[in-house]
C-alpha cells in the first residue's frame, strides 16, 4: 500500500485516480479531512475498487495516523493534505498553520516512529514524499531567472509561509534523523476536478454563468502553468527514483500573464459554447482590487528533474487548457456538487 493524504482534493484526487489506473500499482489508503476543498465525487469511480481505502480524518490526529500506519504498513506516504488557497490564507491563517505546519509535523513524527520499527528491506524502501509549491521562493521580477532548487526561501503570503515551514520540517527530519524524505516544489496546476475558487476554474464557471471574470490588479502577474496529469507523473517519477533528502522543482515551462490565461479561456469558450447574442466572453472580464502582497511572477526551472530523472511535461498550455475547458463543459454534475452554499459564501466574502 501507499498512504496518500489529501487525496480527495484537486491534485491528490487526480493522483489517486492516475495511480489506481495502473493495475500493477499498489493500493491506496486515502486520508482526507474533507474540508470544503475535499470532494468524494472526484473519487466516485473508485467506489467499488478494493484497492482504494478512503479514511475520513485529519493528518493532525496522531492516534489515527499511527493506527493506519500500523494496520496497513504502507511503503510510502505522499503528503498532499493542505490548506491551499492564498486568498483564504489572507482572510484567516489559523487553519493554514494547523494543517500545513502542525499537521505535517504530526505526520512526520508518526511516520518516523513507524519507520523506526520497520525491518531491513521495508525500512530501506520506505519514503515520505512531501508535495510543496514554488510559492516558497517568493516573487520574481520580469528579468530574474526562473526558480531553481537552490533559490532561498522568501515566502510572502500566510499560505506560502506555512508551506515553507513544512518544507523546513521535512528537510530537518532527513538531516537530523535520517528519515527518508523527498520534496517536490511545483508551479500552478490546472485541470479536471479543480475547485472553482482558483483562477482557471473560476473563470470558466463564471463565464458560463454570465458573471464577471475578476482580474486582480493589472492582470500582468505571471504564473507558470502545469497540467495536473503532468504533476502526477512527475510525483510518480520522484517517488520511484528521486534521491533521498533532495528537492525537485516541477514546472510546465508555461509562463503566462493572468489576463492572457483568462482571454485564452474566453476564446476557447467562444468556439465551443458560443453566446447566443454573438458577443465574446471577453466582455465579462472585470478588473478588481488587487490581492494584498500579490506575488508578481513565478517561474520554475525544472531542468534538474529532466536531467536526473528524465521527466518532461506531456501537455503544452494550449492542449492542457483546451482539455480542461472541455472537462468543465462535460461535467455539470461534479460542478453542481461543489458550488454549495459555503462556496457562494466564499465568493461574496472575497469579491463583494
Binding partner of 59, given ligand NAD, ligand DAU, none, CB within 5-8 angstroms per partner class: ligand NAD
Which one from 58, 134, 295, 315 is the annotated catalytic residue?
A: 134
Residues engaged in binding ligand DAU (CB under 6 A):
84-86, 133-135, 187-188, 198-199, 202, 214-216, 221, 223, 258, 291, 298
Interface residue with ligand NAD among 43, 78, 81, 199 (CB under 6 A) is 81
Q: How far apart are CA 108 and CA 106, in angstroms?
A: 5
The reply on whether position 189 binds ligand NAD by CB under 6 A is yes
Interface residue with ligand NAD among 2, 20, 43, 99 (CB under 6 A) is 99
| 227 in catalytic set | no
Binding partner of 9, given ligand NAD, ligand DAU, none, CB within 5-8 angstroms per partner class: ligand NAD
The reply on whether position 225 binds ligand NAD by CB under 6 A is no
Q: Which of residues 191-220 bind ligand NAD (CB under 6 A)?
A: 195
Binding partner of 88, given ligand DAU, ligand NAD, none, CB within 5-8 angstroms per partner class: none
Nearer Cβ to ligand NAD, position 82 or 266? 82
Contacts of 338 (CB under 8 A, 6+ apart): 39, 41, 195, 196
Stretch that binds ligand NAD, among 75-83, 211-219, 241-249, 266-274 (CB under 6 A): 75-83
The reply on whether position 254 binds ligand NAD by CB under 6 A is no
| 134 in catalytic set | yes
Interface residue with ligand NAD among 2, 3, 4, 10 (CB under 6 A) is 10
| 328 in catalytic set | no
Nearer Cβ to ligand NAD, position 115 or 190? 190
Interface residue with ligand NAD among 34, 118, 288, 339 (CB under 6 A) is 34
Interface residue with ligand NAD among 4, 30, 46, 58 (CB under 6 A) is 58
The reply on whether position 170 binds ligand NAD by CB under 6 A is no
Nearer Cβ to ligand NAD, position 53 or 282? 53
For residues 300 and 187, the answer to whether their CB atoms sit within 8 Å is yes
Stretch that binds ligand NAD, among 167-175, 188-196, 259-267, 339-347 (CB under 6 A): 188-196
229-232 own/partner pairs: CB under 8 Å, 24+ apart: 229/14, 229/18, 229/191, 229/314, 229/315, 230/313, 230/314, 230/315, 230/320, 231/11, 231/14, 231/15, 231/186, 231/189, 232/11, 232/14, 232/15, 232/18, 232/19
The reply on whether position 337 binds ligand NAD by CB under 6 A is no
Interface residue with ligand NAD among 32, 255, 295, 315 (CB under 6 A) is 32
Positions in the binding site for ligand NAD (CB under 6 A): 5-6, 8-12, 31-35, 37-38, 58-60, 80-84, 99, 103, 131, 133, 163, 186, 188-189, 195
Active-site residues, by number, are: 134-135, 159
Amino acid at each position: 500500500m501507499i498512504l496518500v493524504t489529501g487525496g480527495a482534493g484537486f491534485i491528490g484526487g487526480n493522483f489517486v485516480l492516475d495511480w489506481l489506473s495502473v493495475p500493477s500499482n499498489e493500493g491506496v489508503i486515502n486520508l482526507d479531512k474533507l474540508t470544503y476543498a475535499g470532494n468524494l465525487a472526484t473519487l466516485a469511480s473508485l467506489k467499488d475498487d478494493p484497492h482504494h481505502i478512503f479514511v475520513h480524518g485529519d493528518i493532525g490526529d496522531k492516534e489515527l495516523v499511527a493506527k493506519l500506519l500500523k494496520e496497513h504498513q504502507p511503503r510510502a506516504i505522499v503528503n498532499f493534505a493542505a490548506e491551499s488557497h492564498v486568498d483564504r490564507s489572507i482572510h484567516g491563517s489559523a487553519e493554514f498553520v494547523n494543517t500545513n505546519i502542525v499537521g505535517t509535523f504530526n505526520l512526520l513524527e508518526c511516520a518516523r516512529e513507524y519507520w523506526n520499527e520497520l525491518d531491513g528491506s521495508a525500512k530501506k524502501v520506505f519514503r515520505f514524499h512531501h508535495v510543496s509549491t514554488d510559492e516558497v521562493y517568493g516573487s520574481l521580477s520580469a528579468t530574474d531567472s526562473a526558480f531553481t532548487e537552490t533559490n532561498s526561501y522568501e515566502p510572502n503570503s500566510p499560505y506560502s509561509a506555512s508551506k515553507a515551514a513544512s518544507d523546513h520540517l521535512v528537510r530537518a527530519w532527513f538531516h537530523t534523523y535520517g528519515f527518508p524524505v523527498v520534496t517536490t516544489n511545483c508551479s500552478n496546476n490546472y485541470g479536471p476536478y479543480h475547485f472553482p475558487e482558483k483562477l482557471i476554474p473560476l473563470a470558466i464557471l463564471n463565464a458560463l454563468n454570465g458573471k464577471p471574470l475578476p482580474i486582480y490588479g493589472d492582470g500582468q502577474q505571471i504564473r507558470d502553468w502545469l497540467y495536473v496529469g503532468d504533476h502526477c507523473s512527475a510525483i510518480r517519477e520522484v517517488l520511484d527514483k528521486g534521491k533521498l533528502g533532495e528537492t525537485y522543482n516541477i514546472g510546465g515551462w508555461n509562463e503566462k500573464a493572468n489576463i492572457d490565461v483568462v482571454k485564452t479561456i474566453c476564446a476557447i469558450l467562444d468556439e465551443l459554447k458560443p453566446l447566443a447574442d454573438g458577443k465574446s466572453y471577453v466582455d465579462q472580464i472585470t478588473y478588481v482590487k488587487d490581492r494584498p502582497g500579490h506575488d508578481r511572477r513565478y517561474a520554475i526551472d525544472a531542468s534538474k528533474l529532466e536531467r536526473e530523472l528524465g521527466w518532461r511535461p506531456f501537455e503544452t498550455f494550449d492542449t492542457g487548457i483546451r482539455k480542461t475547458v472541455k472537462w468543465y463543459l462535460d461535467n455539470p454534475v461534479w460542478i453542481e456538487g461543489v458550488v454549495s452554499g459555503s462556496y457562494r459564501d466564499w465568493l461574496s466574502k472575497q469579491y463583494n
